Structure 1
Amino acid sequence: MVSYQTYHRVNGLFISLFIVLHMATHLSGLWGIDAYNAMQQVMRIVYRNTVVEPILLVSVVLQVGVGIKLVSQNFRRKLKEKWARRQALSGLFFLFFISQHLSALAMARWIEGLDTSFFWPASVMSAPPFYWYFAPYYFLGVTAMFVHLGCALRLYALRRKSTVLAGSLFWGVSGGGGLLALTIVFMLLGLFYDIELPAVWVGYLTRVSGGLYP
């Protein structure tokens, strides 16, 4: 029987393939909104089809469930050990991030019928009070994901008796992830170019916020 740890690792590898594509889409936004949307359309051919998308969604939900199970095991002991604490806390924050992210996706895409293109994440970074919450939310969520991945890669290297590689993998992946997260946040805040929200997204924010959108 496959253990929870083994399933978490293998399923995590599958989800990581999607994350790579998703991060590539975000990075393409450095060349402008049209570049982001064009890249996203190409990537959607891979992961937003009738075969892959249901498998991906189920995989993410199961990853969340198994992750909670693993974190809950010997939680107090994990908090006392530095590396176990980093892995557990980064995993918990990413679980919070991805759960809210999927809920927001369901509302925008399936309930409101909107195309979750560049303007979906950019909309909540367009004005206060939204960006007071979503700027740190995106930065910490993406960073936590890479810290969690860095912890996993560190363990992989340690099992192969490569101590130097273990440290390099953790700090390289975590630091690179933090830099990527900061770049994404700055881009969505409009620091690299002006972002004018379409009326449909202004209307969406006004409805879901109860009129808080300025």
Structure 2
Amino acid sequence: MGAFAQLRDRCATIGQRFDYLALAPAMAAICYPFLLRAFHAVVGTQAATPSLSIIVGATLILAVALVVPFFALGLACRCNADPGARRLAYAAVTAPTLYVFLGVVQALNRSPIPDEIVWCVLWLAIALWSQTARNPVVAATWPTMGRWRIVHGMTAAVLSLYVAFHLTNHLLGLIGPDAHAAVMKIGRVVYRSRVGEPLLVAAMLSQIGTGLFLAWRWSAAPQGLHRTFQVGSGAYLSLYILGHMNSVFIYARSFLGIPTDWNFAIGAPIGLIHDAWNIRLLPHYALGAFFVLSHLASGLRVVLIAHGVDRRAADRLWDACVALSAVISAAIIAGMCGVRIG
């Protein structure tokens, strides 16, 4: 009886200590590709006018898929999460862009294994790591982080010019592919030049390196809402940029030998909506546009507060910028899905 009571008490202690929400981000990420598959099953491959029930069902499924990164962000905000669980949550924020990255790598390797199987194994491995990784000792301050933040911020300020042009270029998709192509041709004179392209790639890689370093340090301890959002959006953008460069430089230019134009971006001729593979590009692009703008807004908020701007005013500006980011992202995706104005 004594041994049984001891075992019971031990199990109760383990149950109290185990954080059941710690694995929720991995479970959400595992479900992500199956949500996209369900979306495709509802809309099908035909571009005929869908019924109201199909529109409602497909919209709800896609909305749930888009919620996955924000669900993970919410879990990353938990004060009682250990660093492993918090980093798992940040990793799950990247699920939409990581799934595209995985699909391209699978295509490059001509892998016969379905993406969903590789995806599930990958996330089970990440979840296992998050539970077995040693918790770091959180230092009160890291003197070197200030320097990394300055480098990261200065590079971001320069790259924001390219981001502004690139997103404006994509907004012109609402007018039509010809307008998009005409403006892109002008921009490529600079960012596709022998000097411009290497500098752009170097700046992007610098952003990834410094950003991931800062994210790793900040993820060791609980953060507030704004910092958590900044870290999570930065993690998403790091993988997005790497995946985008892989898609453009390796997959399109080297592997397929095709131009990276409007048709490449929207998965022509089928498009984003009615293709089982291409549908993964819709959340990938939408969240990419949203997170890059809102991440810049997060950095701006930090700079404003550091220069004496009232925190509440900075927070209100951040709220407005995040809302505007969502509107711009939706407009870009609408254009890529065939919506036209004028």
| Alignment RMSD (CA, Å) | 1.9
Per the alignment, in what secondary structure is the counterpart of residue 167 of structure 1? helix
Match of 1:109 in 2: 253
What is the rounded CA distance, in whole Å, between the counterparts of 2:285 and 2:319 in structure 1? 20
Q: Contact (CA 8 Å) 1:157, 1:165: kept in 2 or not? A: no
- Structure 1 position 187, deviation (Å): 1.2
* 2:192 aligned residue (37, 48, 51): 48
CA distance in 2, matches of 1:74, 1:8: 14
Whole-Å Cα distance in 2 between the matches of residues 103 and 183 of structure 1? 25
Q: State the distance in 1 between where 2:166 and 2:225 align.
A: 30
1:154 is aligned to 301
Deviation at 1:110, TM superposition (A): 3.4
2:292 aligned partner, one-letter code: M
> Does the alignment pair 1:172 with 2:320?
yes
Instruction: Choose which of 82, 87, 99 in structure 1 pairs with 2:225.
Output: 82
Give yes or no for contact 1:147–1:177 (8 Å, CA) kept in 2: yes
Offset of 1:191 from its aligned partner?
Answer: 3.1
TM-score (ref. length: structure 1): 0.83
The reply on whether 1:6 has 2:150 as its aligned counterpart is: yes
TM-score by structure 2 length?
Answer: 0.53
CA shift in 2, pair 1:87/1:73, >3 Å = same
1:128–1:165 Cα change, 3 Å: same
**Tell me, what secondary structure is at the counterpart of 1:73?**
helix
Q: Among residues 206, 211, 231, which one is paired with 1:67 in the alignment? A: 211
Match of 1:198 in 2: none
Contact conserved, 1:25 with 1:36, CA < 8 A, in 2? yes
Question: Please, which moves more after superposition, 65-74 or 119-128?
Answer: 119-128
Match of 1:212 in 2: none
* Paired-residue identity, %: 23
- 1:124-163 aligned at under 5 Å gives the runs 125=272, 127-163=274-310
Higher Cα Rg, which structure = 2
Letter in 2 for 1:178: A
Task: State the partner residue of 1:100.
Answer: 243
1:126 deviates by 5.3
User: 1:149, 1:173 within 8 Å by CA — same for their partners in 2?
Assistant: no
Per-residue CA distance 1:28-79 (angstroms, 9 max, x = gap): 22211111100100111121111111011011012101111110114132x4
Measured in 2, the distance between the counterparts of 1:39 and 1:165 equals: 36
Partners in 2 of 1:53 and 1:177 — Cα distance?
Answer: 26
Deviates more, 1:25-34 or 1:167-176: 167-176
Q: Structure 1 residues 31 and 74, CA, compared in 2 at 3 Å: closer, same or farther?
A: closer
Structure 1 residues 28, 74: CA separation in 2 closer, same or farther (over 3 Å shift)? closer
2:187 & 2:278 partners in 1: Cα distance?
27
Larger RCO: 1 or 2 (CA < 8 Å, sep 6+) = 2
Note the residue ranges of structure 2 that are not aligned, 5 or more in a row: 1-143
- Residue type at the aligned position of 1:132: I
Mapping for residues 169-208 of structure 1, pairs under 5 Å: 169-192=317-340
Q: In the TM superposition, what whole-angstrom CA distance separates every residue of 1:112-134 from its partner, at most 9, and x where no partner exists?
A: 22221111111161532134311
Distance 1:57 1:24 in 2: 20
Mapped to 2, the partners of 1:171 and 1:19 lie a distance apart of 20
The code of the aligned residue for 1:184 comes to: I
| Alignment equivalent of 2:165, drawn from 16, 21, 25 | 21
Give secondary structure in 2 for the equivalent of 1:176.
helix
Residues 175 and 340, structure 2, Cα contact 8 Å, conserved in 1: no
1:29–1:35 contact (8 Å) kept in structure 2: yes
- Output the amino acid matched with 1:11: T
* 1:149-189, Cα deviation, whole Å (9 max, x unpaired): 11101111111222254124312222111111111111111
Runs (4 or more) in structure 1 with deviation over 2 Å come to 109-113
- In the alignment, the residues of structure 2 paired with residue 148 and residue 55 of structure 1 have an alpha-carbon distance, to the nearest angstrom, of 22
